[in-house]
Amino acid sequence: MTDKNSKINDINNRLPKVRGVIRYNFELSRLSWLKVGGPAEIFFQPEDPDDLSFFLKNLDTNIPIFVIGACSNLIIRDGGIPGVVIKLGKNFSKIKLYKNNVSVGAACRDSYLAQTCAKEGIDFSFLRTIPGNLGGAVKMNAGCYGSYLSDYLTGLTLIKRDGSINNMKASDLKFSYRNSSIPDDSIITNVFLKKEIEDPLKIEMKMTNALEIRNLSQPIKDLSCGSTFRNPIGRSSLEDKYDNDHSLKAWKLIDDAGLRGTKLGGAMVSKIHTNFLINTGNATAKDLEDLGNFVIKKVRKNCGIDLKWEVKRVGKN
Ligand SMILES: Cc1cc2nc3c(=O)[nH]c(=O)nc-3n(C[C@H](O)[C@H](O)[C@H](O)COP(=O)(O)OP(=O)(O)OC[C@H]3O[C@@H](n4cnc5c(N)ncnc54)[C@H](O)[C@@H]3O)c2cc1C
């Protein structure tokens, strides 16, 4: 037996016996929106919430866990993610319509929910152009065009690191601009959203408009994670969604610093939208992170403002 196989055997013996799928050294770049990043040491796709709960209850507490959604807001570093990476599969993506709310699995794509509900006259049109899954949308309090996920959230089911299954009300949690109080080692498995009834044709129109606006203003065909940096505090929509002064935008600060089209290895500041860092084809995660840090330095030098990452960087260099 090779060293690698005997190490895998050893880890395998220490892991709880589950019904879901476990893989070792699983390449995460194939799942990542940016198509970069190293492997997950252990990759786990639970069969259902009980399987996930059992796994966590019986997993050595020294082994770290990290949950991923569609990886549309993550730079996974080239050294990969140590411990267990958890990804919820199709058994966590069901949509159920109730009288006053919609129950949706955390692995459901935002755009699929928006399109499915539109046919029923339920308006989640703001989610049509956000690429992630519902779990990631709640964790990040995703939003656009004035709407935030937290505006619709009424409750959720969360599995904590100790394996306990918790039903929580939205009012038990805190949300701000692209942020929530959900702990990094807790996993959202199901989300409840309030229904806003609208004429299906009007919802279709809103979604078509949103897609057109994105097409015109963002490099949607390139590999990116959307906006890389948060718009600076106090002058735009950071922290307080009711702060309506949008005069200071991260893209403008980056443009003013002369960084449009700047390249580092295979990473580039998009020429279409300067707050998007793109993988031109052969970027490493390091290229992207280094370019982001270079942008922060240059913007600070140019105008004295510190840009803050909106994209999360995870794993080892
Ligand atoms: C082209 C493009 C445009 C974008 N436009 C927007 C936009 O307009 N508005 C916006 O808000 N964002 C936008 N984004 C960013 C991104 O799509 C959102 O942040 C999205 O909500 C992330 O969801 P995800 O499933 O991809 O999460 P991931 O990127 O996989 O993870 C993000 C975070 O959520 C956590 N997470 C994921 N799933 C779960 C779960 N089940 N339970 C607990 N935590 C979880 C992860 O641990 C991580 O901390 C854009 C991205 C791209 C590529």
93, 104, 139, best to mutate for ligand 1 pocket (most atoms within 8 Å of CB) = 139
Instruction: Name the band, by pLDDT with cuts 50, 70 and 90, for residue 247.
Output: low
Select which of 227, 236, 237, 270 is catalytic.
Answer: 227
* Domains and their CATH numbers in the chain: 3-87 (3.30.43.10), 93-202 (3.30.465.10), 219-314 (3.90.78.10)
Q: Is 237 a catalytic residue?
A: no
Q: In the β-sheet with 81-87, what is the strand arrangement from edge to edge?
A: 21-27, 39-45, 81-87, 65-68
With a 6 A CB cut-off, is 132 part of the ligand 1 pocket?
Answer: yes
In this structure, which residue's CA is closest to atom 37 in ligand 1?
136
Q: Does residue 11 register a pLDDT over 60?
A: yes
Q: Which residues pair with 73 in a beta bridge?
A: none
Instruction: Name the band, by pLDDT with cuts 50, 70 and 90, for residue 235.
Output: very low
With a 6 A CB cut-off, is 315 part of the ligand 1 pocket?
Answer: no
68, 129, 168, 181, best to mutate for ligand 1 pocket (most atoms within 8 Å of CB) = 68
**Model confidence pTM above 0.85:** yes
Q: Does residue 245 register a pLDDT over 60?
A: no
Select which of 53, 236, 270, 310 is catalytic.
Answer: 310
In this structure, which residue's CA is closest to atom 3 in ligand 1?
226
Tell which phi-psi region holds residue 234, choosing left (phi > 0), alpha (psi between -120 and 50) or beta.
left
Helix (H) or strand (E) holding 248: none
With a 6 A CB cut-off, is 33 part of the ligand 1 pocket?
Answer: yes
Mean pLDDT score, 78-98: 97
Nearest atom within ligand 1 for CA of residue 72: 26
pLDDT attached to residue 158: 98
| The pair of three-digit structure tokens given for residue 120, joined into one six-digit string | 């029923």
With a 6 A CB cut-off, is 125 part of the ligand 1 pocket?
Answer: no
Q: Does residue 67 register a pLDDT over 60?
A: yes
Select which of 77, 109, 128, 178 is catalytic.
Answer: 178
- Which amino acid type is present at position 112? Y
pLDDT attached to residue 12: 75
Q: How far is CA 172 from CA 157, 168, 203, 220, 233, in A?
A: 12, 6, 30, 35, 25
With a 6 A CB cut-off, is 264 part of the ligand 1 pocket?
Answer: no
Centre of ligand 1 to C-alpha 203, Å, is 23
pLDDT attached to residue 285: 98
Quickly count helices (H) and strands (E) in the chain: 7, 18
Contact 80, 39 (CB under 8 A): yes
Q: What is the pLDDT of residues 198-216, one digit of tens each?
A: 999 999 999 999 999 999 9
